[in-house]
Amino acid sequence: MSSQIILFEQPERFTVGTVGQPGERTFFIQAQSGSRLISVSLEKTQVQALADRLLYTIRDIKQNNPSVSFSRLVKDDAPLSTPIEEEFRVGVIGLAFDAEQGLIQVDFQAINEGSDQNPEFIDVDDLTGDQDILRVLITPSEADRFSKRAFIVVGAGRQPCPFCGGPIDLKGHLCPRSNGYRR
């Protein structure tokens, strides 16, 4: 079985959102161009890491490529587009910057369920694997808008315990720092 690359070059919409109640949410990233819509699911920590890394990349682009233009885009508050059908679950995320085009390439690689190997990075030029990849090419301005929304979506979940950092459910939680007493 060969891999499939699903390419979105400067999609009309590239966003993140959730389905479900805090504590039971599923995180989705969507790319949309016209009637073409792809949704992939991933972990909350992956969304947080991607947003952090995109902001770092934008900062680096501003310092090293002053010719790249940045514009302020309108905030994207709209819910995820429907239908929300998971194309695949994301395992590894890769980032690259194409200085010639002035676009950031974000690759979402499907989890390889048949292997125990956990690659630490995606070689964006090596397509010999058998995992599907969603490749999205976005402007730095679009990456900034995506990151801001991602921070809001991640922060909208359960509040962390001030002592252990674990999520607090509505009923409280057993905090390991309080010898098993509920907080």
Phi, psi of 40 (to 5 degrees): -125, 145
What would the two tokens of residue 136 be?
């999205």
pTM (2 d.p.): 0.79
By the 8 A CB rule, do 28 and 44 touch?
no
Domains and CATH numbers, the chain: 5-178 (3.30.2450)
Query: What would the pLDDT profile of 43-94 be if each residue is shown by its tens digit?
Result: 989 999 999 999 999 999 888 877 777 888 888 888 888 888 999 999 999 9
Region of residue 99 (phi > 0: left; psi between -120 and 50: alpha; otherwise: beta): alpha
Report the C-alpha gap between 44 and 19 in whole angstroms: 12
Query: What would the pLDDT profile of 81-92 be if each residue is shown by its tens digit?
Result: 888 899 999 999
